[in-house]
Amino acid sequence: MTILQRDRETAAQAALTPVRAALLHRAREQAAGITAQARRQAADALDQARRDAASQVARAGEAGRTQAAPLAAALRAEGRRGARATLLGAQREAYEELRDRVRASVASLRDGPGYDLLLERLRQEAGQAAGPGAVLTEAPAGGIIARAPGMVVDCSLPRLADAAVEALGDQVAWLWTPGRRGRRP
């Protein structure tokens, strides 16, 4: 790499700094709104799931007392499985809602003033990751896809949004963890 190339790369990275900062600020603002709504929805779903579970467990207890202890145990187990399924469904719904909103937010970057710089940066990153001779194409939903023999590097905006949510891992559990709702880690 020549000094001129290094200087150009440094200048390009410096030019991206305000774009990155603006994107990060915007993403944080949107994430705060998304998470607040997701927390409310998750709390409502969890509260309903707990009410449903309590109702199912109560019915199971009555039936067990009147019919037989083995039947009551089976009904309670069914109630717990139903409550767990409802809880897991609510958690999946909150996670999917967060992912969909992050995707929408990232998709809106295409209309922003810094999209050309972002596209160029993704072109560089995807090309470098795929290696020499990679064919770079703009993804229909935005971003870049690089293809080389035996390798595809997907830097499309939807894939990058999904990767960002996946990278959060257990950090999204605060959306549905009792006693932690309303507080992010």
pLDDT of residue 41: 67
Asked if residue 14 is part of any domain, the answer here is no
- Is 5 among the domain residues? no
141 within 8 A of 161, measured Cβ to Cβ: no
CA distances from 44 to 1, 87, 90, 137, 176 (A): 57, 11, 9, 43, 10
Average pLDDT, the chain: 80
The pLDDT score that the predictor gives to residue 28 is 62
With a cut of 50, which residues of the chain have pLDDT below it? 181-182, 185
Q: Could you tell me if residue 184 is inside a domain?
A: no
Q: Please tell me the total count of domains within the chain.
A: 1
Instruction: Look up the pTM and report it.
Output: 0.52
Q: Is residue 161 part of a domain?
A: yes
In a domain, 17, yes or no: no
Domain encompassing residue 161: 24-175
> Does residue 8 fall inside a structural domain?
no
